[in-house]
């Protein structure tokens, strides 16, 4: 992370020269990038084929692989962390392969030419600190339960039910059981379904005479979600992460 970070680069190198650079880089745990005209084949959970074009390829020391075009935030092809990267020269082309098992997946990138190759020694001790998440919204609710409803008392978080864990479990001023489902942003029908599953599971699980209320806490809901809430007899409280 200091100015002595080792960087090795090549411009329009011969295939065997790139191969050696990449092999050495992988061996020492460096990050590799390649750029140039290539084709990409993938087979695994699905299958894909990408004809010739210029792409930017990243091989990470944790085994992840990324193929980026000039468009989009997402890579056009990729491989998750934990893969084995290998590189070879075949018919004058550089072939990069990244494979894994469980599930069996393989990515193969064939460079007609490598326009640029680089190896970076990376040191990154820092963790990303994010705020505005659902966890922050939960803290806000636990710190001030009245934001949900006057008299609401949280009793547990992540309380287990046969349908999964409830975000916040508690009771209202009248002693009725309350299930709170938190969402950090505007929600659609899926979140209502989720809350409903928890409420139904608790109604089954608790004694038949126990009343169970379900409250969706989010900044806002879509029309369809609001209608679903009404149909299911569930409630909504508008609240956002701090």
Partner DNA sequence: GGGTGTATTTCGCCG
Partner DNA sequence: CGGCGAAGTACACCC
Query: Residue 231 carries which DSSP code?
Result: H
Neighbours of 30 (CB within 10 A): 21
Among residues 238, 158, 233, the alpha carbon closest in space to that of 200 is found at 233
What count of other Cβ atoms lies within 10 Å of the Cβ of residue 45?
Answer: 8
Distance, C-alpha 132 to centroid of its chain: 16
Residue 102 engages a copy of itself in binding (rule: CB under 8 A): no
Interface positions, 198-237, toward DNA (CB under 7 A): 222-225
CA 43 to chain centre: 21
Segment near a copy of itself (CB under 8 A); pick from 18-26, 84-92, 182-190, 207-215: 182-190
- Of 88, 113, 111, the residue nearest 99 (C-alpha): 88
In sequence order, the 6+-apart residues with CB closer than 8 A to the CB of 104 are 44
Using only C-alpha atoms, what is the Rg of the chain?
A: 26
Nearer to DNA, 50 or 88 (CB): 50
Q: Rounded to the nearest whole angstrom, what is the least distance from the CB of residue 107 to DNA in the complex?
A: 6
Of 56, 116, 184, 232, the one binding DNA by CB under 7 A: 184
49-88 binders of a copy of itself (CB under 8 A): 49-56, 58, 60-62, 64, 66, 68-73, 75-81
How far is CA 33 from each of CA 16, 66, 84, 102, rounded to the nearest angstrom? 16, 9, 16, 26
Least gap, CB of 106 to DNA (angstroms): 9
Q: Does 174 bind DNA (CB under 7 A)?
A: no
Candidates 29, 151, 164, 242: give the one binding DNA (CB under 7 A).
Answer: 164
**Taking CB under 8 A as the rule, which mask of x and - marks residues 20-49 in contact with a copy of itself?**
-----------x-x-xxx-------xxxxx
> Which residue, 61 or 171, has its beta carbon nearer to a copy of itself?
61
Tokens linked to 161? 């039910």
Whether the Cβ atoms of residue 10 and residue 71 lie closer than 8 Å to each other: no
**According to the binding rule CB under 7 A, does residue 48 interact with DNA?**
yes
Residue 81 within binding range of DNA, rule CB under 7 A? yes
Task: Enumerate binding residues for DNA (CB under 7 A).
Answer: 42, 44-46, 48, 64, 72-74, 77-81, 102, 105, 107, 128, 130, 132-135, 163-165, 167, 181-186, 188-190, 194, 197, 222-225
């Amino acid at each position: 992370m200091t100015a002595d970070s080792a960087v090795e680069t090549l411009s329009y190198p011969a295939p065997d020269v790139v191969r050696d650079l990449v092999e050495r880089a992988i061996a020492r745990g460096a990050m590799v990038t390649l750029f140039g005209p290539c084709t990409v084949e993938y087979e695994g959970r699905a299958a894909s084929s990408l004809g010739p074009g210029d792409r930017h390829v990243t091989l990470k020391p944790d085994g992840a692989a990324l193929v980026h075009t000039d468009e989009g935030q997402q890579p056009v092809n990729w491989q998750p962390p934990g893969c084995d990267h290998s590189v070879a020269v075949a018919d004058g082309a550089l072939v990069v392969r990244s494979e894994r098992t469980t599930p069996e997946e393989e990515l193969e990138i064939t460079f007609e030419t490598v326009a640029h190759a680089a190896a970076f020694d990376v040191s990154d001790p820092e963790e990303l600190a994010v705020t505005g998440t659902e966890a922050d919204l939960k803290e806000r609710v636990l710190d001030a339960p009245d934001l949900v409803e006057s008299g609401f008392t949280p009793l547990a978080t992540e309380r287990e039910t046969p349908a999964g864990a409830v975000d916040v479990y508690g009771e209202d001023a009248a002693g009725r059981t309350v299930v709170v489902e938190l969402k950090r942003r505007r929600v659609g029908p899926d979140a209502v379904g989720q809350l409903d599953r928890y409420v139904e599971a608790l109604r089954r699980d608790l004694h038949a005479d126990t009343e169970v209320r379900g409250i969706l806490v989010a900044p806002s809901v879509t029309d369809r979600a609001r209608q679903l809430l009404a149909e299911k007899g569930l409630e909504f409280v508008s609240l956002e992460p701090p």
